[in-house]
Structure formats: C-alpha cells, structure tokens
Amino acid sequence: MTLFNLARKNLQRNFSSYFLYIASMVFSIVIYFTFVTLKYNDDISTLTGTSQKISSMMSASSVILLFFIVVFIAYSNSFFMKKRKKEVALYSLLGVRKQQIGLMLFFENLFIGLVSLVAGIAIGFLMSKVLLTILVRLMGYSLTAGFVFSSEAVINTVIVFSVLFIFTSLQGYRVIYQFKLIDLFHAEKQGEAMPKASVLSAIIGVLSVGAGYYLALEDIMTSMWWRILSIAMPIVIIGLTVFGTYLLFHSVSVFALQAMKKMHSFSWKGLNLITTSQLLYRIRGNAKSLTVIAVLSATTITAGGAVFGLYYNIDKSINDNTPVTFMWEGEPLEVPQVSTHHTLATKLVTFTHNESERQYQVLPLATYNELAQEQGKEKITTMATNEGVLLDPYYDERFSDKLTGADFIANVPLHLTSQETYAITNMSTTGPMIIVNEQTYEALEGEPTTYQAYTLQDGADGLAISRELDSQLTEAQQDFTSQPAAYEDIMSAMGAMLFVGSFLGLVFLTATGSIIYFKIVSEAEADKDKYTILYKIGVNDAQMLKTISAQVGIIFGAPLAAGLLHATFALLGFSNLLGMSITKPVLVWMAAYIAIYGLYYIFTTRAFYKIVKNARGNA
C-alpha cells in the first residue's frame, strides 16, 4: 500500500473529525472564488453601470479573507496534530521511518486541501448565479445575473490555495521531527494546572475593559483623549479591550468558578461540581482561545452591524438631504411624468452675526408651506415680521452652536425663532435655507435666485429621466441634484459593502465556530475516560448530557457574551459619531449571528456526547 493510499484511508476513517474543518475550508474557498470572480468580471459593471470600485473592494476583501484563512488553517492544524500524535507514535513504534510518517501526514494535508479546493471552486461556480444576484439586488437593481465562469479567477484561486496547502502540508511533515516518541504518547495527557486566582489581574482586567468602553464612547470632536492620542486612539481602545478580555477569562472567570464551586447549594446539585472542576482545570488554555473567539465575534458583529446599519438608513439619509426628485438653479426644462413642478424664487442674503458674515438662501413662507404639504412635513402657520426659521439638516452641535434665538443683521434685522434639522429643498443645490414671511422677504435685500423643483409620478423611471436631464442641462442651469441618482450611487456602494461584509462575517463565524468545536472535541477525546468512570458510578444519559451541555454552553456562551458586549459599545460609538440610529439593524444582525452560533453549540454538544457514549461502549 502506498503512502498516498494510506493517507486516503486515514482520512476516510477519520472523516467525521475532519468534516467541519473541510466544510469551513470549502465555504471559505467559495467566498474567495466569488470575490476574485467579481474582481475579474466586467458583467456586473456593465449591468449596474458602476466603476472599478467593486473590483477594488473585492481585491481588498480577498486579501483580508486570505489572511484569515491562513490563521484559521494554522490554528486548526494544531488541534489535529495533537489528536494524531499518539497514532504517529504507534507508527514509529512499529518501525515506520520518520520520513515515511512525515510523507503520510504531508499527503493527508495535501489531499484535504485538494478536495476542499476542487469542491470550493465547483460550488463557487454553481452558486455564482445566486451570489451575484444577491449582490445586484443589494445594490438596488432588479436584475438576475447568470452563471459566471472566470478562468482568471480559477487560476488565481488554484495558485493561492495550492501554495497555502503545500505550506501547511509541510508543517505536517515536519511535526514528526519535533517530538520524541514519549512526548507523542503523552501529548493528550498534558493538561493544564489548576490556576490560582489573582486579585490584581482580575482588577486590571475589569479596569482595562471599562477604560476601553469609556474611550469608545468619547466624542471624537470634543474628547481630551482624542486630542492627546489622535489616530492612535482606536489602537489603544482595541488593545485595552483585548488585554482586558484575556484577563477577564484568565482571572475573573477563575473567581467566578471557584465561588460557584464553594456554593454548596449549587455545586452539590447534580454534576455541577464536576462541570466547574473541569472548567477550572483547563481555564488557562481556554483563556487564550476564548479571548480569540470573543475578539473575532466582536469584530464580526461590529463590522457587520455598522455596514447593515448604514444600508438600513439609506432611504432616510437620501430623503433628509434630497427630498425633491430633481432640482437645479436656472430655467425650467420639459420633464416627463411630472407630478408637481415648482419654480422657487429665493434671495441669497448676506447676514452678519457675531461680527462674521453668513450667506443663506431665503424662502417665502407660502412657498415653504406648499413644499411642506407635498412632502408630509409640518407647516408653519404663523410667523411675525423680522422673524425666521433656519433649516439645516447638516447641523451638528459638536461643530457649531445652535442658532435658535440668534439675531442676524442684513439691511433689516432678523431674529431666528428656531433651527430645524430637516430640509425642504435639495441641500446640494440650495444649501441651508431661512424661512420668513412675505413682508420680511420683500424687505430683505439679496441676490435673486430661481430654482426648479420637480417631483415625479409614482412608478416613473426616475433614473432614466435623471440621466436624460443631466445631458440636457446647460452651463446656465447649475447645481443639478437628482434623488434617483443619489440613491443609486449610495445604494450601489453600500450594497456591495453589505455583500462583502455579510459573507466575510459568515466566514469568520464558521471559522470561529470550528475553532471552538476543535477545542472542545479534542478535550472530550482527552477526558473521555473520566466520563466513562461517571457512567460506572451510576450517572445516566440524561445527567451526562446535561453536564456536557452546561460545560460546552459556558465555553460557547462566555466569548459570545463578551463579543456582544464589546460590539455594543463599539456600535454605540459609531452611532454617536454619525448621529444615526442603527438599533434595529444591529439587533437583527446580532440575532442572526447568535442563531448561527447556536447551531455550532448544538453540533458541538452532540459530538462531545457521542465521544463519551462511544467511550463507554468500548470500556
């Protein structure tokens, strides 16, 4: 039997152990292949009329994904090699040369890689229609993409992953030379010492995480810490949070578990004492893994929640700043399928306030009320002479003082009774506006300006009309703004970002779940004899499943809770920075993450329980 055949038979025999790893690898290759296909494919740009921005985004995403896959493979291989060391030792004891054993491990890793690569590319091609249609729909286009095959994408994927798999296979070859025979036999028995709780570490951990949260909520414009740390601030926040998270798992968790162990009402109930003892025994090794998983979860939830939040608020953002379908300064044009058309007469007035000059377009109250009624905004019923209302959706109290109650001086005085953060006209065309009554408008001296404002009928092809108008406008017709065009630009960019963010998040999630799975299953293999003893002293299947579920639940739940908490504060800071509510989309994103993460918990618990039951049957 050749070494390659032996490696193939080993994989067939241990397929259940490798299944989740192979599935995660295949999924990662599918997403990488999709990103690279989009990079090399011009059909999406032709369909959507977008530029090379998508290609650049896919290239950057491919690099991020590849880096993560390298880390994931290296991390996963360490678990597999620990599990296989006793088997390797047996081969060595039977007289098989190290070179032959190393070649067998090399072929095993290479075979896994080749199977994953072929399956990933095949599935990627078969799913290309679905994935590209999802991308196009997220970008706001009602199109259905076809199957896409790119020879450049295939070559790129094959070269990149072949190099990666050869490198990891060489690691498998080298492992046989790094250990003595006795080390290989006792690899699974090298457990963790019972940790001692450190009060100082626990306090530092809590303070570090608290400081990270505090800095994350600091206002970027007014915070003293932002002025001191400048661009280093995000690095400091991440560093404090990661360091504090490690200490929380390393020390605070020890205090919590020891306290639970000392609570007789808890520890003497069922198998709780065994569960807490098992967790305490392995806490140091788990602290590192749990920190990695918490950080990965926080990163995935934060990035995905932020992008989904922006995507969710596209309509509101467009309507807030561009409430009119088409606007421009100058003479009117013949526009098809128009619902309403207003020619707005305004004055560009220069005001003096606190010894500084400000220019605003001034709009009569009657015109404002017509537009407000059409847009469903609140009308202004009464307004005294020499009073005005400022409309400025760009206002942010962090950048300037609110002007409610301010007195402006032009050729006549003007008192601002209020400042509102909504627009009645397209801001990129008119800028902020001041609303005054007819008497004040007539009295104010300023440069007369004429704007055209068009609203289309429902069902009109606004984008096609927008492109036609844009080609017809002359130099005399300035500052053209189009709600459909603005929507298309933002939707295409944010849709592509949501597509990339969602699938990168899924890859991170599958890898995160796989890492926990490998960690727990390897521990189950090492501890199965202990659980067999429990069966022998009278523990039944229901009790065993309960204690396993609790132990696995803590390992899964602790980093998830930490990741959710980290992401919550990060997203609060993001929301405050943009002045945008993203609560609903973030909750949806978190719920989806928890649901998929929960499936890994169920899958891992079943695998753990199966190992323990099989060990009892073989005892």
Using one digit for the tens of pLDDT, what is the confidence trace for 439-466? 999 999 999 999 999 999 887 888 899 9
On the question of pLDDT at 586 being above 80, the answer is yes
What's the token pair of residue 277?
């003892």
Local confidence band at 136 (pLDDT 50, 70, 90 cut-offs): confident
Backbone angles phi, psi at 350, to 5 degrees: -95, 120
What's the token pair of residue 408?
């402006």
What's the token pair of residue 247?
């200490």
pLDDT of residue 122: 93
On the question of pLDDT at 193 being above 60, the answer is no
Q: Look at the pTM and tell me if it is higher than 0.85.
A: no
What's the token pair of residue 473?
């406008």
pLDDT of residue 102: 76
Q: What is the pLDDT of residues 69-83, one digit of tens each?
A: 887 777 777 776 666
Nearest in space to 325 (alpha carbons), one of 466, 159, 149: 466
Query: Is 241 in contact with 209 (CB distance < 8 Å)?
Result: yes
Q: Which helix (H) or strand (E) holds 184?
A: helix 181-185
Distances (CA, A) of 318 to 23, 56, 423, 488, 492: 41, 25, 11, 10, 14
**Range with the poorest average pLDDT among 283-292, 519-528, 594-603:** 283-292
What's the token pair of residue 304?
């995905």
pLDDT of residue 282: 65
In single-letter form, the type of residue at position 436 comes to V
More confident residue, 326 or 252: 326
What's the token pair of residue 272?
């709780």
pLDDT of residue 414: 94
Place of tokens 């844009």: 470
Round to whole Å and give the CA distance between 347 and 311.
Answer: 36
**Range with the poorest average pLDDT among 62-71, 378-387, 423-432:** 62-71
Round to whole Å and give the CA distance between 416 and 414.
Answer: 6
Most confident range (mean pLDDT) of 312-316, 530-534, 539-543 is 312-316
pLDDT of residue 261: 66
On the question of pLDDT at 51 being above 60, the answer is no
The arithmetic mean of pLDDT across residues 316-322, rounded, is: 90
pLDDT of residue 386: 93
Neighbour-count burial of 460, counting CB atoms closer than 10 A to its CB (0-12 exposed, 13-18 middle, 19+ buried): middle
pLDDT of residue 74: 74
Round to whole Å and give the CA distance between 481 and 128.
Answer: 36
Domain boundaries, the chain: 1-190, 193-325+481-619, 338-456
In single-letter form, the type of residue at position 364 comes to P
Distances (CA, A) of 302 to 59, 241, 557, 588: 22, 14, 18, 13
Local confidence band at 385 (pLDDT 50, 70, 90 cut-offs): very high
C-alpha dihedral (71, 74, 80, 86), degrees to nearest 10: -150
pLDDT of residue 447: 93
Measure CA 215 to chain center. 21
Local confidence band at 578 (pLDDT 50, 70, 90 cut-offs): confident
Which residues make Cβ contacts (< 8 Å) with residue 348, sequence separation at least 6? 359, 360, 361, 362, 446, 447, 449
More confident residue, 513 or 97: 513
Nearest in space to 489 (alpha carbons), one of 317, 303, 305: 317
**Residue 527: strand, helix, or coil:** helix
In single-letter form, the type of residue at position 170 comes to L
Q: What is the DSSP letter of 576?
A: H
Residue % of the chain over a pLDDT of 90: 35
pLDDT of residue 311: 92
C-alpha dihedral (14, 15, 18, 19), degrees to nearest 10: -160
pLDDT of residue 18: 74
**Range with the poorest average pLDDT among 286-295, 362-371, 465-474:** 286-295
On the question of pLDDT at 513 being above 60, the answer is yes
Round to whole Å and give the CA distance between 277 and 195.
Answer: 11
Q: How many CB atoms lie within 10 A of CB 250?
A: 22
Buried b (16+ CB within 10 A) or exposed e, 384-419: eebbbbbbbeebeeeeeeebeebebebeeebebeeb
More confident residue, 93 or 321: 321
Q: Which helix (H) or strand (E) holds 556?
A: helix 541-578
The arithmetic mean of pLDDT across residues 213-221, rounded, is: 85
Q: Which residues pair with 420 in a beta bridge?
A: 391
Nearest in space to 261 (alpha carbons), one of 243, 273, 244: 273
Within 13 A of 400's CA, how many CA atoms are on the CB side?
10
Q: Which helix (H) or strand (E) holds 241?
A: helix 233-247
Local confidence band at 210 (pLDDT 50, 70, 90 cut-offs): very high
Query: Is 428 in contact with 322 (CB distance < 8 Å)?
Result: yes
Tally DSSP H helices, then E strands, for the chain.
23, 9
Local confidence band at 175 (pLDDT 50, 70, 90 cut-offs): low
Which residues make Cβ contacts (< 8 Å) with residue 492, sequence separation at least 6? 48, 50, 139, 140
Local confidence band at 144 (pLDDT 50, 70, 90 cut-offs): low
